Amino acid sequence: MAALTAQNQPKPDGTSKPDRSDRPDRNPKQDRSRATRQRLLEAAVSCLAEHGWAGSTVSVVAERAGVSRGAAQHHFPTREDLFTAAVEYVAEERSQALRAVPTDDREEAVAALVGLYTGPLFRAALHLWVAASGEEQLRERVTELEARVGRESHRIAVEVLGADESRPGVRETVQGLLDMARGLGLATLLTDDRARRERVVSQWARLVNEALSED
């Protein structure tokens, strides 16, 4: 007879211990650690969007995340570590938002693309750009990630707009739309002229639709 395994050896009362070999491994400590890291990254992005680089210290981010400064430094030993990770987080969040842009209505897609450049994620990215211009440790990482996000933004814009880049002028039309969206995003740093922006976007949507439509 095969020997009893440690999992099902009889207990003193004669019953067998339950076999836990098929139960999924769970590590509450790792779960808490991941949750803390996520809160810190979200808080870093929010602080950048609201206060810029100068006002976004590790202490400010930790307070917003609801964790101690020590806990924040456990995950990100330096300020540069924290905001380099925030760069990656912002890049991924922006990419996910781009993938969710609707594709069934071209004018709606234009408005959604512009919205991505006038919201808090883009505002945080702008502050990272400014910070990177004077922070050597951030510059290379920010430049690399923004180049990747820029390429992906253009590729997804082409997809959601149903643009045929083999036609003359179409690639430039898509790029012009994204450049215009960035410009509106820059303008929102100073004022929130939403009504004017909506009129501009509506006109651009008509122009883009005409430029991309088949003759």
What type of residue sits at position 149? V
Q: What is the pLDDT of residue 5?
A: 42
Q: What is the pLDDT of residue 25?
A: 56
What type of residue sits at position 90? V
Backbone angles phi, psi at 67, to 5 degrees: -130, 165
User: C-alpha 59: how far from its chain's center?
Assistant: 22
User: C-alpha 70: how far from its chain's center?
Assistant: 25
**Higher pLDDT among residues 25 and 202, named by residue:** 202
What type of residue sits at position 148? R
| Residue 50 neighbours by CB distance under 10 Å | 15
CB 76 within 8 A of CB 40: yes
- Taking the C-alpha atoms of residue 57 and residue 161, their distance in angstroms, rounded to an integer, is 40
Average pLDDT over residues 106-124: 83
Q: Is the pLDDT of residue 15 over 80?
A: no
Least confident range of 76-80, 87-91, 161-165: 87-91
Closest CA to 201 of 187, 176, 179, 184: 184
Q: What is the pLDDT of residue 3?
A: 41
Q: What is the pLDDT of residue 36?
A: 93
User: C-alpha 108: how far from its chain's center?
Assistant: 21
Average pLDDT over residues 159-181: 91
Closest CA to 48 of 133, 115, 114, 131: 131
Confidence of residue 32 (pLDDT cuts 50, 70, 90): confident
Q: What is the pLDDT of residue 4?
A: 39
Helix, strand or coil, per DSSP, at residue 15? coil
pLDDT tens string 186-211: 888 777 778 888 888 889 888 898 88
Alpha carbon distances (Å) from 158 to 37, 110, 167, 208: 34, 11, 12, 12
Q: What percent of the chain is modeled with pLDDT above 70? A: 87
Q: Which of 69-73, 146-150, 183-187 tops mean pLDDT? A: 69-73
